Amino acid sequence: MSEPTAPSVPPTPPVPLSALLAREDLGLRQIAGPPAPDTVIHWAHTSEMADPYPYLLGGELLLTAGVHVPEAAGAGAYFEDYVSRIVAAGGAALGFGLAPVHDTVPRALVAACEAYGLPLLEVPPRTTFSGVARAVWQLMAQARLAELRRVTEAQQSLAAAASRPDPVPSVLRQLAQRLSAHALLHGPDGTVIASAGRAPVPGTQEALRKLTAVVRPDTGPADPPREAPTSATDALGDTQLAAYALGGSSGFVLGVATRRREPADHTIASVAAVLLSLLTGEHQSGAGAARSSALVRLLLGAAPAEVAGLLGNGGRWLVVHARPENGTPDPVGAAALGAALGSPLIDLGRDVVRVLVPAGREPAAQPGWTLGVGAPAEPDGWPSADAQAARALARARATRAPLVRHGTRPGLTELVPRADAAEHARALLAPLAAGPALTETLRTWLSLHGSWDRTAVALDVHRNTVRQRITRCAALLDTDLDDPDVRMELWFALRQG
C-alpha cells in the first residue's frame, strides 16, 4: 500500500485531548508527551499493525493493545520506529490498553513517546476502545453543535449590524467582537477606511496591508490583469491574519487579525465580507455616485423627471414588488434579490421589497420569492407602475405563481380617449371613493374571477372580510355584481385608476 505524501487533518471539529481525559467514565491517564490542553484530536482509530503509517490520515487518537509488539522488543529500537511512524503520519495521540496482552505500558514506549512529543494515554482494562471512540464522537458532535450555534448567532448579529444607520462600522465592530479580533477595512488604494476591535500587536497593520495586496486585483496599466484569490491567510508570531476581497474587482479588502484561529472563524468572517461587499460595492462606481446625486436632488425638491437622467437607462424603469415565500424580508435577502435582478435600487419594507430595475433587464422568477412586475415607465409614470407591481404581486400570491407581470397588451381602452375614460371611471366609482379598501378589494376580486379565497390571500384578510366588502360595494354601486356586463364595465373603470 502506498504511503501518503503528507498528513492531512480531516475536516471535523477538533476535540481537546483534555476533554477526553476529563471523562471520568473512561478513566484515561496521560503518562507521556506534551500537556493535554495543547493537543487536539479529530477521531479515534484502532490498529494492531506494527506500522500504522499507511492507515492513518492525520489527527487521530490511535488505540492499540500492543498485540503487534514482539516479545523481544524490550528496550530496542522497535518502539522508536513505531512512534516515529505515527508522528510522521500526523497522529495526534496514542492510547495503550492494559488488557488483555499487557499489564503495564512498556517503559520503552513511554520513553519513545516522550522523545517524539507524542501524547501517550493509559487505557484501563475496564475501558473498551469502542467506548473511547464513542466518547470522541460525542465530544465531536457537541463541538459541531457549538460551532453551528456560534455561526448562526454571528450571522444574525452581523445582519442586524448591516441594517444600522452606520452599517460599515457596525459590521466591523460586530465582527471584531465575535472573533475577539482586530478588523480593518482597506480601500482600493490600500488605506485603512475603518477599524474595530482590540489593539493589535505591533506590526499587525503592516502585515495585514501586505496580505491585502495578495487578494486585491492588479489594475496597473503596465502588467496584464492577474487572477487574484478571494482570500488569503498568514501569521505574525502567534497572531493569525486573514484577508478577504470584497465585491470582486471593487478593490475593497477586509483584514482580520486574531490571537488564535477557531474552526468557525473563516465562516463568520466570510459572512461579514459578503455584507461589506454589498455595503461598499456601489460607493466607488460612477453609477453609484450618480444615484447618490439623484437622491440628494430629490430630497432637495427636484422633480423625478429632472433627476431620472442621472439613473441612466433613458429614464425607463420597471418597478418590481417582491415578497419572500417564508417569513419577512431582511436586509441581506433584499440586497441579494437586487443583485439577482441587476439593480442596487432597493426599498426594504415591512413585508415587501421594491426594486427599480432598468427596463432593458427583464426580471426572472427568483427562488424563494414571489414577484409582481409593473409596466415599463418613465418618471411621470413611476407611481402608476408602482401600483401595477403591487397588484401584480397580489395576483401572483393569490394564484401561487412565482412571477406575474402587469398586462400591457392594447385593448378596448385604447379606443376611448384617456380623459373621457378617466371621467367615466370617476363617475362610475364615485360611491366607493370614500373607501379605498373597498375599491382595492373589488379590483382584486374581479381580477381573480370572483374567488373569495384567492382574494383573501392576495389582500391578507379573512374570506369573510372579502364577502362583506364585496356586498358593501354592490350596495353602494346599486348593481348586480354577478352580471358579466356589470363586471366588464367596472373592470374597465378600475383599469383607469
pLDDT digits (tens, 9 = 90+) for 174-230: 999 998 889 988 877 777 878 888 777 888 888 888 888 888 765 444 444 556 678
Cross-strand partners of 29: 122
The DSSP-derived string for 56-87 is --SSEEEEE-STT--TT-TTSSHHHHHHHHHH
Residue type for position 138: Q
Per-residue confidence (pLDDT) for residue 7, from 0 to 100? 47
pLDDT digits (tens, 9 = 90+) for 411-443: 555 555 667 777 877 888 888 888 888 888 988
Measured CA to CA, the distance from residue 237 to residue 251 in angstroms comes to: 28
Cell digits of residue 281: 460595492
Measured CA to CA, the distance from residue 238 to residue 235 in angstroms comes to: 7
Of 143, 133, 252, 244, whose CA–CA distance to 194 is shortest?
252
Higher pLDDT, 220 or 473: 473
In order of their start, the domains of the chain are 15-139 (3.40.1390.20), 163-280 (3.30.450.30), 316-405 (3.30.70), 412-494 (1.10.10.2840)
| Residue 406 CB partners (closer than 8 Å, separation 6+) | 372, 373, 374, 375, 385, 388, 389, 391, 392
Cell digits of residue 80: 522508536
User: What are the b/e assignments for 238-270, b being 16+ CB within 10 Å?
Assistant: ebbbbbbbbbeebbbbbbbbbeebebbbeebbe
CB 57 within 8 A of CB 5: no
Percent of the chain with pLDDT over 90: 25
CB 459 within 8 A of CB 394: yes
Asked whether the predicted pLDDT for residue 122 surpasses 90, the reply is yes
Asked whether the predicted pLDDT for residue 30 surpasses 90, the reply is yes
Measured CA to CA, the distance from residue 350 to residue 353 in angstroms comes to: 8
pLDDT digits (tens, 9 = 90+) for 99-114: 888 999 999 999 999 9
At 439, which helix (H) or strand (E)? helix 436-447
CB 214 within 8 A of CB 229: yes
Per-residue confidence (pLDDT) for residue 311, from 0 to 100? 67
Percent of the chain with pLDDT over 70: 86
pTM to 2 decimal places: 0.48
Angle between helical axes of 382-399 and 436-447 (0-180°, round to 10)? 60
Asked whether the predicted pLDDT for residue 454 surpasses 70, the reply is yes
pLDDT digits (tens, 9 = 90+) for 32-72: 999 877 788 988 999 999 999 998 988 999 999 999 998 77
Measured CA to CA, the distance from residue 315 to residue 309 in angstroms comes to: 6
Average pLDDT, the chain: 82
